[in-house]
Amino acid sequence: MTPDENVLDEVEVREAERVAALDLGSNSFHLVVARIVAGSVQIVHRVKQKVRLADGLVDGKLTAEAIQRGVDTLKVIAESLKGFETHSVRIVATHTLRKARNAHVFLYQARQVIPYPIEIISGTEEARLIYSGVAHTSHSEGRRLVVDIGGGSTEFVIGEGFEPKLLRSLQMGCVSYTRRFFANGELTEYNFSKAITAAQQALEMIDNRYRSLGWQACVGTSGTIKSIIALCQESPDKESPVTLKQLKQLRRDCLAAKTIDALNFEGLSEDRRPVFAGGLAILIAIFKSLHIDSMEFSQAALREGVLYQMSESLEHNDIRTRTIQSLAVRYDVDTQQANLVHATALALFDACASEWQITDLALRSMLAWAALIHEVGLQINSRGVQRHGAYIMQNVDMPGFNQEEQLLLATLVRFQRKKIRVDDIPEFGLFSARQVQQLIVLMRLAVLLNIKRQEGFLPDVDFGCQGDALSVQFPPNWLDDKPIFSADLEQETQHLKTLDFDLHYA
């Protein structure tokens, strides 16, 4: 009997958030679409497109052909993202775009075909997100080592439960190593030995520390390791861990084929074949250097980690807040002063947001975080605190923040006081030049108004904003007996003119 079409009419419908994560990798672009229901992430759609962006990285720049390949692929993927709100899509780019000196050219062209911001993330942030994807989708007792071989870099994480303990990203990937050691297409003992040795040399930077910490389980992720483990399985329907002995046999099978074109392993896809040798050499080196007994495979990777972070953000359990708290502890931030500046900065933002059209909550959060850690540079020296702070913010690991967000925080810290050199303000892709300047102005005022570092010193003030003019209204006669503070305000009016802002106070 056919069910009545109204049979589900009385079923309770739960609220669901539809989100998408797009990973712009060095080898492939991966899209994952999911529903977030009651804190649970349900993946409903996947798209994978081979791009080999890393193949087009020549002398530190992407070729026009590689950029076009990437943009054309984004046109295809854009069809799957129609109807998504901006806050529901997160696009992250990894090694190749991290290294490309002309990444801005790709980002500009990409923005013409896909209307969502693209974040270039650091290697350690990539590693953290990969671990998050694995941790949220598989259970493991004790510590585990997670390894992800990408097209241009390989990430290593030791973690326990949901918390990563040790994260590193090394510049070796299946595309770059195949191009470097197997460019002639020949699979020889010499080529394999050179590739394995080079990978072990790169691993010298981390092998002792990783072996010392140790792990109880080892997990590999993403396409390269998936293909290798699949070819080592005794039967197609049996999933078992891969061992070094099996990897060495796979290398012998490659040597027997003699050329990349002659690799005809059953189960090796056409798009994986050209970069297979480089990936295998890297994995053999990893097993040798880290003394790995066996490795299992996990389907989850970077994009799943991005999804779970989006889920956390929707539940207001944001990893970025924990990162800021960690920095405050590590650099012994004066939390009382930080909270004073934070409160003033948000009051200023709220007073100007509508007039300046900066109502995006992400901008408010960036200003708030910058206010909380604006004095990290004091750990180095009180002179030039803003420069020291900016250096720290640009170079410290900041889980949860992409490269541009981290640079924006560093910029706000850098220009919190003293003269403003407009030419020294970086260009951004995710934020307009005027937005950055507006946040700098608000940051500077918040710092200046709390210069006395005394709770209760600043009275109730009214903040106003009209066009590019800001006003600060103090209680009547409050400034009369504060000549130094008044002089500071007057000096700041001159500094802000550099950015074409007017400051009025009374």
Q: For the chain, what is the mean pLDDT?
A: 89
Joined together, the tokens standing for residue 179 give: 């191009």
Q: Are residues 392 and 456 in the same domain?
A: yes
Looking at 239-333, list the stretches that DSSP marks H as alpha helix, in order from N- to C-terminal side. Answer: 244-257, 276-290, 302-314, 319-330
Taking only the tens place, the pLDDT of each residue in 264-305 is 898 888 889 999 999 999 999 999 999 999 999 998 889 888
Closest Cα partner for 246 from 269, 272, 220? 220
What does the DSSP 8-state code read for residue 14? P
Q: How far apart are CA 51 and CA 29, in angstroms?
A: 7
Q: Are residues 238 and 387 in the same domain?
A: no
The end-to-end CA distance of the chain, in Å, is 81
**pLDDT at 326 (0 to 100):** 83
Say which residue, 251 or 16, is predicted with more confidence: 251
Has residue 9 been placed in a domain? no
Has residue 241 been placed in a domain? yes
The enclosing domain of 32 has a CATH number of 3.30.420.40
Q: How far apart are CA 418 and CA 146, in angstroms?
A: 46
Q: Are residues 294 and 192 in the same domain?
A: yes
Has residue 376 been placed in a domain? yes
The enclosing domain of 272 has a CATH number of 3.30.420.150
Is beta strand 469-473 parallel, antiparallel or unpaired with respect to 462-466?
antiparallel
Number of folded domains that form the chain: 3
Q: How far apart are CA 345 and CA 349, in angstroms?
A: 6
Q: Are residues 343 and 216 in the same domain?
A: no
Over residues 337-357, the mean pLDDT reads 93
The whole-angstrom distance between residue 380's C-alpha and the CA centroid of its chain comes to 27
Q: Are residues 261 and 351 in the same domain?
A: no
Grouping H, G, I as helix, E, B as strand and the rest as coil, residue 459 is coil
Closest Cα partner for 443 from 411, 476, 484? 411
Q: Are residues 264 and 384 in the same domain?
A: no
Taking only the tens place, the pLDDT of each residue in 187-214 is 999 999 999 999 999 999 999 999 999 9
**pLDDT at 316 (0 to 100):** 41
Q: What is the residue range of 43's domain? A: 16-121
Domain's final residue, options 86, 121, 156: 121
Taking only the tens place, the pLDDT of each residue in 449-500 is 999 988 888 899 999 999 999 999 999 999 988 899 999 999 999 999 999 9
Report whether pLDDT(6) > 90. no
Q: How far apart are CA 442 and CA 439, in angstroms?
A: 5
- H or E segment and range at residue 464: strand 462-466
Domain's final residue, options 299, 327, 362: 299
Over residues 79-93, the mean pLDDT reads 91
* SS3 assignment for 199-245: HHHHHCCCHHHHHHHCCCEEEEEHHHHHHHHHHHCCCCCCCCCEEHH
Has residue 4 been placed in a domain? no
Taking only the tens place, the pLDDT of each residue in 137-147 is 777 789 999 99
Task: Answer whether 294's CB lies under 8 Å from 243's CB.
Answer: yes
Reported confidence tier of residue 315, pLDDT bands at 50, 70, 90: very low
The enclosing domain of 372 has a CATH number of 1.10.3210.10
Share of the chain above pLDDT 70, in %: 94
Q: Are residues 112 and 261 in the same domain?
A: no
Q: Are residues 111 and 189 in the same domain?
A: no
Taking only the tens place, the pLDDT of each residue in 97-117 is 999 999 999 999 999 999 999
b/e per residue 301-323 (b: at least 16 CB within 10 A): bbbbbbbbbbbbbeeeeebbbeb
Has residue 307 been placed in a domain? no
